[in-house]
Amino acid sequence: AYEKLWLALALVLIVGFIGTITYGAAGAGIDMIDDKGGTVDPATLDQHPKFGDPGIERTGENSYDVYVVARQFVFEPGTTQPLRVPAGSTVTFHVTAADVIHGFEVVGTNANTMAIPGQVSEFTVEFGEPGEYGLLCNEYCGSGHHVMEGQIVVM
Ligand code: CUA
């Protein structure tokens, strides 16, 4: 009789976890679609056509590319000024790091990646409704790690 109880309990927990994950993405109105990437030379990052002056660029009717450089202890862009994207847009993030390994997490969503020197992490997010999202570094990167944050404003 106890076995059935544990089985039922486990099932409830699993359903609960799936529900939480689904809600985390859908409830926040943004959804991470894919995760791929490439490489970049960290030594010449400042001369890179995209990462040399990172920011947002329009690629279609409702689609954008966003290039982000993480470095101790800021996201460029994102920290000194918010990253602004239009509501209803599909945004592909290209994230790399200039110095050490950082994290790039859109708080409250499943949009989350590592920012690694020499590598480009790519993922695509659909931004539905207007809102504000925090950005967080979730990999320990030095003395200022705990203050390394930023903001995305969906307009
Ligand atoms: Cu950057 Cu922790």
Q: Which atom of ligand 1 is nearest to the CA of 72?
A: 1
Dist. CA 137 → ligand 1 center (Å) = 4
pLDDT of residue 22: 53
The pocket around ligand 1, CB under 6 angstroms, is made up of: 70, 73, 102, 137, 139-141, 145, 148
Provide the residue-wise pLDDT of the chain in tens; the chain has 155 residues.
777 878 877 777 777 766 555 554 444 455 555 556 688 888 899 999 999 999 999 999 999 999 999 999 999 999 999 999 999 999 999 999 999 999 999 998 889 999 999 999 999 999 999 999 999 999 999 999 999 999 999 99
CA 116 to chain centre: 13
Residue 47 structural domain? 2-154
| pLDDT for position 105 | 95
Scored b (16 or more CB within 10 A) or e, 2-19 reads eeeeeeeeeeeeeeeeee
Question: 8 C-alpha to center of ligand 1: Å?
Answer: 41
The ipTM value here is 0.99
The CATH number that applies at residue 74 is 2.60.40.420
Q: What is the pLDDT of residue 108?
A: 81
- Are 147 and 133 in contact by the 8 Å Cβ rule? The answer is no
Maximum CA pair distance of the chain? 68
Which strand (E) or helix (H) includes residue 74? strand 74-76
Total structural domains in the chain? 1
